[in-house]
Amino acid sequence: MTDVMNKKKIGIVGGTFNPIHYGHLMIAESAREQYCLQEIRFLPSGHPPHKQHTMQASHRCNMVSLAIADNPFFILDRREVESQGISYTFLTVENLEKELPDAELYFILGGDSLFDFESWRKPEAILQHCSILAAYRKQERQEGFFQQIDLLNHKYPGKFFPLDTPSLEVSSQDIRKRVQSGRSIRYLVPREVEDYIRAHHLYKEAP
């Protein structure tokens, strides 16, 4: 039996990444540093159950690849975009655990998603295969955030951990709106992602 202390610690960052931005990258790097993760996998969703009209997967994957190219700890994982079915987190982490039996998995999510977690498809199944690192910002909803962590850990002991992240007010939706209206997205996304969006004329239609 593999010693838990010797297991490779792998973080998972899921999302549409439509497009990926510095907020995603900062959360991933914070998780890697604070929890000594040896690898972070970015999993663009192929057919997310709650989102429609998502930019085609090839563009989203290409932008992720460009954004993480200079970080040796970050890896693009295409399994969800290559799947024909709807992307459910419980299936993804189950498959990852089967492929990586000697790894310890951590699913990284934003603080807002922490409050929605129990509405996800089969949350108990997710927690059978990984722990949760939930990002928070010190100046935002801190008391309620830690109350929610305590509540969830009472139901699912030792499965939820706080992740301290810098404050960066940026969202993929805002980026799409900025591009559509001709406004700058510099310093919101890596330069390579900005160049890709311009070169491929992405997000010109109303989001």
User: How far is it, in rounded angstroms, from Cα 153 to Cα 187?
Assistant: 37
**φ and ψ at residue 12, rounded to 5 degrees:** -125, 125
pLDDT at 84: 79
pLDDT at 140: 58
Give the number of other Cβ atoms within 10 Å of residue 205's Cβ: 10
Helix axes 22-34, 57-68, angle to 10 degrees: 50
Q: Which residue from 89, 107, 128, 123 is spatially nearest to 12, judged by alpha carbons?
A: 107
pLDDT at 87: 80
pLDDT at 2: 45
pLDDT at 4: 57
Fold for domain 7-169?
Rossmann fold (3.40.50)
pLDDT at 186: 96
H helices present in the chain, as ranges: 22-34, 57-68, 79-82, 89-99, 111-116, 123-129, 142-155, 172-180, 191-199
pLDDT at 138: 67
What are the residue ranges spanned by the domains of the chain?
7-169
Which residues partner with 100 through β-bridges?
none
Q: What is the CA radius of gyration of the chain?
A: 17
Q: Are strands 74-76 and 103-109 parallel, antiparallel or unpaired?
A: unpaired
> Would you write out the chain's pLDDT as a tens digit for each of its 207 residues?
445 567 899 999 999 999 999 999 999 999 999 999 999 999 999 865 555 556 789 999 999 999 999 999 999 999 999 987 788 899 999 999 999 999 999 999 988 899 999 999 999 999 999 999 999 876 555 778 999 999 999 999 999 999 999 877 889 999 999 999 999 999 999 999 999 999 999 998 765
pLDDT at 51: 55
Longest dimension (CA), the chain: 57
